[in-house]
Amino acid sequence: METVLPYFTEMIPFNYICLIAFIVALYFHFQGKKSLPHLLLFLFVINFIEIFLIMFWIKQYKSNVLIYNIYSIFCVCYYLYVYFHHFWEKSWAKRFIILAIVWFVYALILFIYNLNELKVNTSSYNIGMIMVMVLVLKYFYDLIYVDKYRSIVKEPLFYFSLGLLIFYVSSFPLLNFINFFVVEDTAMLTYVKLLQIGNVFLALGYLGAAIWSKK
């Protein structure tokens, strides 16, 4: 218990919301309701990583860049998976998957290449997230111009997409140029705080998706 407690005290709002999202998803899971594909699993993993693993890694190795790199690949993969699942029947989806696979290979290679360097792999993360953004924007576009009217209030994917969009757009500048600020610790703290605001929206997106489980 003593070893675990410090992890919980280090939690930031983003963690709390993610945790709540996980609990909610778990609750609905036992009621037989489902939301996004494998959302429960995803939430479990990110909660575990965010709350425990990253803190652990920091305590062990002083820097969590390595974890973040692989963790961000994991997140992007999940996002891509959710949207490919949504767009499964579309003709262009199959071709886009190929692109995603290419990206995945590239990201892995980059990860392994930068294994020993304390560098955030912004290029692979950016490209991955931009692909996700394309899918998110296509989702919104379809909602208005392609699909028939449907109510989005109870749609998990809507909240998920909204969270992703706000998160990525608001944190894009900071994430991209984070490498340039690694040197100055004080400035970094401020920017990390700003990043966290963006994260909150992401977590809210997760929560929104989890809440509106059905079937």
Partner 1 sequence: MVEKVNDINWIILSAFVMPIFLSVILIWFFISYQKKKYQYEVESKDAQLREQALIIEQQNSIQNERNRIATEMHDELGSGLTIIKYLSDGVVLKLADEHVREDVIKIAHYSTGLVRNMSEIIWAMNSRFDNVEGLFGYIRRYAVEFLEDHNIEHTFMAEDIKEQINISGEKRRNVYLVIKELLNNAVKYSGAKRILIEARSNPNLYIRIIEEGGIGFNPDESKELGNGLYNIQKRMEQIGGKILFCRKFEGMEISINLPITPDDSFKSEQNIQT
* Exposed / middle / buried, residue 56 (Cβ in 10 Å: 0-12, 13-18, 19+): middle
212 and 154 Cβ atoms separated by less than 8 Å: yes
Among 65, 97, 152, 192, binds partner 1 (CB under 8 A): 152
Residue range at the interface with partner 1 (CB under 8 A); choices 26-34, 83-91, 169-177, 203-211: 169-177
Q: Does 92 bind partner 1 (CB under 8 A)?
A: no
Q: Minimum distance from CB of 105 to partner 1 (Å)?
A: 29
Q: How far is the CB of 142 from partner 1 (least distance, A)?
A: 11
By CB atoms closer than 10 A (0-12, 13-18, 19+), residue 104 is middle
Residues 102-141 that bind partner 1 (CB under 8 A): 137, 140
Q: Which residue in 62, 180, 185, 215 binds partner 1 (CB under 8 A)?
A: 180
- Tell me the closest approach of the beta carbon of residue 167 to partner 1, in angstroms: 10
Q: Are 25 and 35 in contact (CB under 8 A)?
A: yes
Residues 128/107, Cβ–Cβ less than 8 Å? yes
Residue pair 164/128 in contact (Cβ under 8 Å)? The answer is no
**What is residue 62's DSSP assignment?**
S
Residue 53 and residue 70 in contact, taking contact as beta carbons nearer than 8 Å: no
- CB 141, min distance to partner 1, A: 9
172 binds partner 1 (CB under 8 A): yes
Q: Can you say how many angstroms the Cα of residue 96 is from the centroid of all Cα atoms in its chain?
A: 20
CB closer to partner 1 out of 112 and 183:
183
Nearer to partner 1, 45 or 152 (CB): 152
Residues that bind partner 1 (CB under 8 A): 137, 140, 143-145, 148-149, 152, 165-166, 169-170, 172-174, 176-177, 180
